[in-house]
Amino acid sequence: MTELTDADNDQDRAVTSRRHFLRSGAAVGGAALAGGLAGISEARAEIDNLPPNVPEWMKAPGDPMGSQLYGAPSPFEKSVVKNIPKNLPQYISASGRTPLQDLDGIITPNGLFYERHHGGVPTIDPAQHRLMLHGLVERPLIFTMEDIRRFPSESHIYFLECSGNPVYKKPYGKTASDLCGLLSCAEWTGVSLKLVLAEAGLKPEAKWIVAEGADAAALTRSIPIEKCLDDAMLVYSQNGERLRPQQGYPLRLLLPGFEGNMNVKWLRRLHVTAEPAYSREETSKYTDLMPDGSAREFTFYMEAKSIITRPSGGQRLGSKGFHEISGLAWSGHGKIRRVDVSIDGGKSWQEAQLQEPILTRALTRFRLPWHWNGEATTIQSRAIDETGYVQPTLAELLAVRGDNHFYHNNAIWPWHIAEGGEVTNAANA
């Protein structure tokens, strides 16, 4: 910022100003504000002729009411869109990532929610859509969307994450989105799956439910019955409005904390069985080939994880002095208990602030006030969840699992900050 009067000629007052922020900032941040906002008021000479002058956009009426019946972001934010990796086969591994480095808070707006589909996005008429529930049940049933909407509803904020987020091999993504953008969080509304199953009546031998999507891939996954009778939901709304087509309109399965692809979109069938289906997506895909040649399968829960989103790869610190380190932490197993941040390449760790409310199986925003001294360094975060699990390093993960697969990489991710302020993916060094 710029002092409105005499700023450049009054060093004492400038120093006082920094000390002021130092005091108040310390009350908020609790640590690491030594140096205050040093650097924040540099290179602002050009603004002195602006306010209180009247800018152009105050001199005539703006856009009239109704120019957008369904709103859109500012034209100045047109670069904040889904991040679509090049060279991914369109109908096999297509994915569009959330631009994590451009977002704040924990809610992902529906327009930027990550997407991942295996046969394209179907356009489904909700009046024609049906959900069939059959197999090891007393009363096989077919539901219309109207039927589903008549059940008692519930709403919860949960994250969703693709299990291939990120890969294990170099080159790793340049930005937080490249690396970890198959991750989003929303408020979901729907009906408890347990309630719907009670309507059909499970037979005693029911141990799995095979869920099938109404897309061209007929994506199919087997869900253990315990999860179906716990917090699983049939979801029709996301952040207040009906699901977007990319998120399964008009109906998807929501399995809080489970890997993304199991949350079957465009849900058309629940087949109650005694054994899993061993479908393509749980055998050739979404399993981890271990160094001994065996495969980890049916891993379900996403382990505790975190990533710093600001500053992160592709960004640049404009000056020394105060910067807030901010990021996201989450765990498929429940609530985040603590996030540690290191600003010295992992030698020491400081506890970050967690933004309330801390919700189970939702993203949690963490923050650490930081005074950057202008020297090259590496920053990183590690999450600890309510089970006591600590997010591992990539080296620890590779030592156990090898890199002969694509999934379930929840390693700590370091960002390198160069003397000039450029932030890059330290794991690519």
Q: What's the min distance (Å) between Cβ of 273 and its own copies?
A: 15
**2: exposed, middle or buried (Cβ count in 10 Å: 0-12, 13-18, 19+):** middle
Query: Structure tokens of 235?
Result: 């979801």
Task: Find the shortest distance in angstroms from Cβ 405 to its own copies.
Answer: 23
Instruction: Provide the token pair at 384.
Output: 């600890």
Q: How far is Cα 205 from Cα 202, in angstroms, rounded to an integer?
A: 8
H or E segment to which residue 332 belongs? none
Residue 49: both structure tokens together = 């002729």
Beta-carbon contacts of 50 under 8 Å, excluding residues fewer than 6 positions away, are none
| Residue number, 343 or 394, with CB nearest to its own copies | 343
Residue in 386, 169, 425, 396 with CA at minimum distance from that of residue 308: 425
User: Shortest approach of its own copies to residue 396 CB, angstroms?
Assistant: 31
Cα dihedral 245/357/181/337 (nearest 10): -140
Cβ neighbors of 348 (< 8 A, separation 6 or more) are: 342
Query: With respect to its own copies, which residue has the nearer C-beta, 249 or 286?
Result: 249
Instruction: State in angstroms the smallest separation of the CB of 156 from its own copies.
Output: 8
Q: How far is the CB of 129 from its own copies (least distance, A)?
A: 8
Q: Which is nearer to its own copies, 110 or 299 (CB)?
A: 110
What's the CA gap between 209 and 125, in Å, rounded? 25
Tell me whether residue 146 or residue 292 sits nearer to its own copies (CB atom).
146
Strand partners, 116: 95
As a residue count, the chain comes to 429
Q: Which is nearer to its own copies, 140 or 171 (CB)?
A: 140
Distance CA 333, CA 162 (A): 16
* Closer Cβ to its own copies, 185 or 427, answer by number: 185
Least gap, CB of 343 to its own copies (angstroms): 16
Taking the least distance from each CB to its own copies, the nearer of 135 and 166 is 135
Q: What are the backbone angles phi and psi of residue 96, rounded to the nearest 5°?
A: -125, 125
- Nearest-angstrom CA–CA distance, 110 and 124: 18
CA 9 vs CA 192, 269, 313: distances in Å: 65, 73, 37
Minimal distance in Å, beta carbon 342 to its own copies?
19
Q: How many CB atoms lie within 10 A of CB 67?
A: 8
Closer residue to its own copies (CB): 85 or 345: 85
Cβ 294 to its own copies shortest distance, Å: 33
The dihedrals phi and psi of 69, each to the nearest 5 degrees, come to -70, -30
Beta carbon nearer to its own copies, 89 or 420: 89
State in angstroms the smallest separation of the CB of 338 from its own copies. Answer: 19
Cβ atoms 196, 133 nearer than 8 A: yes
Separation between Cα atoms, residue 24 and residue 15, nearest integer Å:
15
Q: Are 177 and 99 in contact (CB under 8 A)?
A: yes
> What minimum distance in Å lies between the beta carbon of 101 and its own copies?
12
- Nearest by Cα to 408 from 276, 260, 263: 260
Sign of CA dihedral 199, 204, 208, 214: negative
Distance of closest approach, residue 178 Cβ to its own copies, in angstroms: 16
Residue among 219 and 394 whose Cβ is closer to its own copies: 219
**Measured from the CB atom, is 383 or 411 closer to its own copies?**
383
